[in-house]
Structure 1
C-alpha cells in the first residue's frame, strides 16, 4: 500500500514552522526585504528551534532528524518568504551537509556544532564568473605547498558567504590533472577571515533581497592541508551528490512559494469585489486558482517521491531533477497568476505576491537550471549526448 501521509513527528514540526513563519517572519520580512537587510534575529530564532540541525546527528550538535524534515520546514517558510527559506536551505544543504557527508572526524567536531546550532553559517563555493552551469570548467586552483594548500581564483553567486556569522566557505578548486589531462577538482574548507580571502559587496538582486549573496576572490589564500574535504580529486563528484540532495530541498522551497501564492490568492479573491461581487465568484478567477492548486499538489508529490527514495538509500538523481523542474515551474507559473489575480496591487512590494513574483525566477536557475534538469533526466533515461 502506498502511503503519502506525514507521520506525527514530521507533522508536528511542520505545524511549528508554519506558526513561526506566520507569527515571526510575516510581520517583519517586508521591511527587511525592502532594506535588503539580512534577517539575523530570525536566523537566531531558527537556530534555537533546531532547524539548522534537522538532518544532522545529535553527536554533531544536530537534531538527529532526516532530510525530509528539512524539506517540510523549507516548504512552510517559503509559504511566507523565500529569503529566510533559502538562508536555511543553503546553510544546511550546502554549508553543513558536505561536511557531514565527507568530512573527517576532526572536521566534523570543529565545524558542525555551530553550523547545526545556527550560530554560524557555511557556504558552498562552486559557481564561477565564467562557469555557470558548466561547473566542471572550474578555474580556481589550489597548489600543495608543504603542509598547506594555496588557493587562487574566484567564485560568484555564493549564498550566506558574507554574513557576520559566516564561518567558512567550502570551495572547489583544481588540484592537478589526471594522466588523460582531465582536471582533478577537490573541495577545500576556507575559514572566513583567512588572509587573501575577500568577499565582495552584496549583489543588487531582483529577488531574495533579505538573503546574503556575494562574489568571492582568493589571492594566495593559504589553509592547512587538513582542510581538504573528502578525497583529493573527488570534490566535483562530492558536490554533484550534494546538489542532488539540494535539488530536493529547492523543490520543497518552490512548493512553499507556489502554495503561498494559492494562500494569498484565496484570501484576496474572497475580499476583493468587482462589478458587485467578490472576484472569487467569477469562473475566470476560480479556474486560475484551481490550476495553481493543481501545480502545487503535483510538485509536492514530486518532491515527496524524490525524498522517499533518498531516505531509503535508493538512486534518486532522476527524481530529484524531476522534482526541481516541476516545482520551480509551478512556483514561477503560480507567482505570475497570483500577480494577475491581484492586479495593480500585485505589482506593489507591500503585498507578498509582489515578493513571490520577484523570488520565483531564480528557482528555475539556482542549483541547476531547468535546462540542466532536463539534461539530467534525459541521461538517466539512457539518452546519450
Structure 2
C-alpha cells in the first residue's frame, strides 16, 4: 500500500463513509442497474487501454447505410426548418406520414415485429443527420427510439404485450410517449407524487384486479399526438391483495390514451421549437393489473427498468443531437468567418 493511500486516501474514505447517509432502495437499484462498460476502467485509476482498443471501430451495415442514403436523405428534402419552427409550429402531415411509412419510429424494434432492428451506431447517426437539418424532426424520431414504450416492451414486456404493441409501434399506427416528468418532482422518479392503488373494480362487465391511478405529468414529448402512454408511478397495495408489501415502489404501465379518464392537456413550447411536448393527467383511472409492463411480476420494479433504459436517451440520442449541433455551428461559423 502506498503512503498516500495509507495516510490520506484511506482515512479520508473511512471518515466520509461514516458521514454520508446510507443508500436508499431507489439509489441502490440505480447503482446496481446496467453495467459500467469502459467507464469502470477509467474510474479504477489504472485503465487497461487495450480493453478500449479491443472494441474496434464501428461501422454501418449495408442495410443501415442504404437507409441513411435513401430514406433519411429523402426526409431531409421534406424539412424546411424555418417554416416548421416559425410558421407551422409542428411537423407537416406529409412528414409525419413519411416517418411512419418508412419506419423511422421503429429503428430499434426487432424485425420479427416489423421494425428495422438497427444498431446503436445507426440510431445515433440517423438522429444526428436529421438534427443537422431540423432539431424538431430529430427529437420526434429520437423519443420512440430511446426512452419509450418500445424499448421497455422489448426488454421487459410479456409475450402478449410484445405481440400486441410492437407491430403497431413499428408500423407507426401507434404513436408512443413516456410520462415520467411532473410539475413537482421534475424527472426525479424517487420523488414523483403520482400513485396507483391496487384494488378490485368492475371492468368490462366483471370484477377485475387492477390499479386505480392518479397522475399529473408535464413536458412529455409526443404526448399531444400519442396513442399509447407509458406511465411511471408509485404503486401501493394497502389491502395486501398482491402480498404482504404495501408500498411496492415505482411501477411502469402502458395505457391507451383513448382509455376512459386519460387526459392529454395543453401543449408546451419547448425552446420555441416545433416538436410536440405537453401534459397528461388522470384521475381515478382504473387499469387491469396486466397492463403493468412485464405483468404483475414487475410491480414495483419500474425504477430499475427506467434506469437501464434511460441509457439509450442519455448515451445515444441526446449526444447525437449535441454532435449535430456542433457540426452545424462549426460549418456555419466557419463559412461566415471565411466570407468576412
Q: Please give the range of the TM-score, normalised by the shorter of the 2 chains.
A: 0.7 to 0.9
Pairwise mapping of residues 39-118 of structure 1 onto structure 2 (< 5 A)? 39-95=92-148, 96-118=150-172
Instruction: Indicate the residue corresponding to 2:299 in structure 1.
Output: 232
CA drift of 1:229 comes to 0.7
CA distance in 1, matches of 2:293, 2:305: 9
Instruction: Indicate the residue corresponding to 1:215 in structure 2.
Output: 279
In structure 1, runs of 5+ residues without a counterpart are: 271-277, 280-385
Q: Is 2:252 the partner of 1:187?
A: yes
In structure 2, runs of 5+ residues without a counterpart are: 1-52, 201-208, 238-242
CA distance in 1, matches of 2:330, 2:139: 20
Q: 1:156 to 1:240 in 2, by over 3 A?
A: same
Q: 1:195 to 1:253 in 2, by over 3 A?
A: same
CA distance in 1, matches of 2:256, 2:109: 21
1:101 alignment partner, SS class: helix
CA contact (8 A) 2:107 2:118 kept: yes
Q: 1:233 to 1:78 in 2, by over 3 A?
A: same
CA drift of 1:75 comes to 0.7
1:162 alignment partner, SS class: helix
TM-score, with length taken from structure 2: 0.72
CA distance in 2, matches of 1:101, 1:267: 45
CA distance in 1, matches of 2:163, 2:276: 26
- Highest CA radius of gyration, 1 or 2? 2
CA contact (8 A) 2:147 2:309 kept: yes
Match of residue 37, structure 1, among 87, 90, 93: 90
Q: 1:237 to 1:191 in 2, by over 3 A?
A: same
Question: How well do the aligned residues superpose, as a CA RMSD in angstroms?
Answer: 2.3
Q: 1:40 to 1:223 in 2, by over 3 A?
A: farther
CA contact (8 A) 1:39 1:211 kept: no
CA contact (8 A) 1:13 1:69 kept: no
TM-score, with length taken from structure 1: 0.64
Instruction: Indicate the residue corresponding to 2:218 in structure 1.
Output: 156
Q: 1:75 to 1:241 in 2, by over 3 A?
A: same
CA drift of 1:5 comes to 5.1
CA distance in 1, matches of 2:155, 2:216: 25
* Aligned residue pair count: 267
CA contact (8 A) 2:194 2:214 kept: yes
CA distance in 2, matches of 1:255, 1:203: 25
